[in-house]
């Protein structure tokens, strides 16, 4: 396969690699030399603003986005295609839309770079501000769908063309915001909990605090790690636990990372799970905390930590991911919705972080988080609807291949996983 463009840009290389190589599993060559393109024997795709009419050439009319260098608010002119409301319409070519520009806009989270974003109370980008939600496809991997449409179009021109979906992977991940309800609090927090429980006449909690202190069996609804272990061995899949190591504060409430209890927990988890960092609530504002917290977890765990997910899913483009990349992380699992479920990057596979301010991709891979437990319970009415929603999204990923990733909290009040 060969692709002709009038000018090769980093944006073009990035999104063509994702669609052709990562989603369709096919190799290709890209060129600015029309003679080389014209003489090629095989699948030929032209991505240009000017028409190229030939019965053996698939012409995709190009809009300007992939040739631009800056960031500008993009006009979202809605056009219907195959039952979906999409954007970046074109007048001619094999599609009535620019499938590559749409894919780039969605995968890079272009709209999250805008300066006029209306954020939520935690300064996060809400799903209702996203194009995918406003146009009604936030629960569809629209980039995979566009890639399949391109493959179908190629087969119209070249019936022997074959493509391969990415392998399906299901990963159960856990955020350890508060490891235990009673253990490992430290003297100051323990005394505060003890006095508060007495004042509130919560003698069950008083008893559990005392039992935990003396190492006696006690009720702890947060201590579900034995269940995580059993499930991992039963399913044969390795989960990932993302551990919060920041000092105690209003939004960072894990047990003391210097405690023996914390270190024992890490040793237990290492036997059946991968360990990742859960960068603190304030790390999205103060990115220097990311490296500090990573170093702390590496010292405690005696592991090289390469996976990360932001606490509260609190992040900023591009600073959070630049900091993660610079700190040596290889994989991030933060890109899911905190207020709904679905595909924040509109794709089912991990993609390299692309910094729109520098117009360069980085080594850090951004994994698609499909469902967070708290968001699922907010957008469904009961367990039956929650399970149905999970099944529907799993089927989407199974259809196109890629990663189905579920986020669960050990300290959640409800557990479907």
Element holding 95 (H helix, E strand): none
User: Prior bond to 318 cis, omega within 30?
Assistant: yes
Task: Return the percentage of the chain with pLDDT > 90, whole number.
Answer: 86
280/274 Cα distance (integer angstroms): 19
Q: Once rounded to an integer, what is the mean pLDDT over residues 141-149?
A: 99
pLDDT at position 417, please?
Answer: 63
Element holding 310 (H helix, E strand): none
Q: Once rounded to an integer, what is the mean pLDDT over residues 270-280?
A: 98
Structure tokens at 387: 């399970």
Largest CA distance in the chain: 84
- Binning pLDDT at 50, 70 and 90, where does residue 181 land? confident
Q: Once rounded to an integer, what is the mean pLDDT over residues 317-323?
A: 98
- Domain segments of the chain as ranges: 2-157, 168-181+221-409, 185-213
Q: Tell me the residue ranges of DSSP E strands in 143-278.
A: 168-176, 240-243, 274-277
- For the segment(s) 168-181+221-409, the CATH number from 3.30.43.10, 3.20.20.370, 3.90.50.10, 3.30.450.20 is 3.20.20.370
Residue with tokens 């300066």: 115
231/120 Cα distance (integer angstroms): 35
| CA pseudo-torsion sign 276, 282, 283, 284 | positive
Q: Once rounded to an integer, what is the mean pLDDT over residues 268-286?
A: 98
- Give the count of beta carbons closer than 10 Å to the beta carbon of residue 224: 17
Answer yes or no: pTM beyond 0.75: yes
72/151 Cα distance (integer angstroms): 30
- Binning pLDDT at 50, 70 and 90, where does residue 215 land? confident
pLDDT at 191 over 80: no
107/53 Cα distance (integer angstroms): 30
pLDDT at 190 over 70: no
pLDDT at 238 over 70: yes
- Binning pLDDT at 50, 70 and 90, where does residue 128 land? very high
Task: Return the percentage of the chain with pLDDT > 70, whole number.
Answer: 97
Q: Is 353 exposed, middle or buried (0-12, 13-18, 19+ CB in 10 A)?
A: buried
Structure tokens at 375: 């968001």
Give yes or no for a contact between 364 and 332, defined as CB atoms under 8 angstroms apart: yes
pLDDT at 408 over 80: yes
Complete DSSP assignment for 112-177: GG-TT----TTS---GGGSHHHHTT-TTS-HHHHHHHHHHHHHHHH-TT----PPPEEEEEEEEES
Structure tokens at 323: 């900091």
pLDDT tens digit sequence for 14-51 = 999 999 999 999 999 999 999 999 999 999 999 999 99
Give yes or no for a contact between 73 and 33, defined as CB atoms under 8 angstroms apart: no
Element holding 203 (H helix, E strand): helix 203-213
pLDDT at 308 over 80: yes
Element holding 41 (H helix, E strand): none
pLDDT at position 137, please?
Answer: 99
416/373 Cα distance (integer angstroms): 8
pLDDT at 194 over 70: no
Q: Is 203 exposed, middle or buried (0-12, 13-18, 19+ CB in 10 A)?
A: exposed
400/122 Cα distance (integer angstroms): 33
Element holding 81 (H helix, E strand): strand 79-81
Residue of 265, 315, 253 lying closest to 290 (CA atoms)? 315
pLDDT at position 219, please?
Answer: 82
Q: Once rounded to an integer, what is the mean pLDDT over residues 69-87?
A: 97
Average pLDDT, the chain: 95
Give yes or no for a contact between 164 and 170, defined as CB atoms under 8 angstroms apart: no
Give yes or no for a contact between 363 and 325, defined as CB atoms under 8 angstroms apart: yes
Q: Once rounded to an integer, what is the mean pLDDT over residues 368-393?
A: 97
pLDDT tens digit sequence for 148-162 = 999 999 999 999 999
Structure tokens at 12: 């073009």
Structure tokens at 50: 């000017």
353/335 Cα distance (integer angstroms): 11
């Amino acid at each position: 396969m060969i692709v002709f463009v009038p000018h090769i840009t980093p944006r073009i290389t990035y999104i063509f690699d994702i669609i052709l190589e990562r989603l369709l599993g096919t190799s290709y060559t890209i060129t600015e030399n029309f003679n080389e393109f014209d003489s090629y024997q095989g699948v030929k795709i032209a991505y240009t603003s000017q028409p190229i009419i030939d019965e053996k050439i698939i012409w995709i009319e190009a809009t300007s986005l992939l040739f631009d260098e800056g960031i500008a608010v993009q006009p979202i002119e809605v056009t219907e295609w195959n039952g979906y409301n999409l954007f970046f319409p074109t007048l001619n070519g094999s599609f009535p839309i620019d499938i590559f520009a749409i894919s780039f806009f969605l995968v890079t989270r272009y709209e999250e770079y805008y300066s006029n974003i209306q954020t939520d109370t935690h300064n996060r980008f809400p799903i209702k501000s996203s194009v995918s939600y406003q146009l009604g496809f936030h629960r569809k991997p629209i980039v995979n769908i566009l890639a399949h449409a391109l493959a179908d179009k190629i087969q119209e021109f070249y019936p022997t063309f074959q493509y391969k979906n990415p392998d399906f992977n299901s990963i159960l991940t856990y955020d350890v915001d508060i490891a235990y309800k009673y253990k490992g609090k430290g003297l100051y927090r323990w005394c505060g909990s003890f006095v508060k429980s007495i004042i509130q006449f919560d003698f069950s909690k008083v008893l559990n605090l005392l039992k935990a202190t003396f190492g006696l069996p006690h009720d702890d609804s947060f201590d579900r790690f034995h269940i995580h272990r059993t499930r991992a061995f039963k399913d044969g899949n390795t989960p990932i636990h993302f551990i919060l190591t920041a000092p105690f504060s209003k939004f960072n409430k894990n047990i003391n990372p210097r405690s023996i209890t914390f270190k024992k927990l890490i040793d237990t988890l290492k036997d059946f799970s991968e360990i990742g960092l859960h960068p603190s609530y304030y790390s999205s504002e103060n990115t220097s905390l990311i490296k500090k917290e990573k170093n702390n977890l590496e010292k405690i765990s005696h592991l090289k930590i390469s996976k990360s997910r932001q606490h509260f899913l609190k992040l900023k483009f591009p600073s959070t991911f630049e900091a993660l990349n610079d700190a040596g992380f290889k994989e991030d699992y933060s890109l899911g919705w905190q207020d709904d479920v679905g595909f924040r990057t509109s794709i089912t596979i991990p993609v390299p972080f692309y910094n729109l301010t520098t117009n360069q991709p980085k080594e850090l891979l951004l994994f698609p988080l499909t469902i967070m437990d708290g968001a699922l319970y907010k957008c469904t009415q009961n367990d039956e609807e929650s399970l149905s929603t999970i099944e529907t999204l799993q089927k989407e990923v199974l259809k196109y291949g890629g990663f189905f990733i579920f986020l669960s909290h050990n300290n959640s009040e409800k557990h479907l996983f």
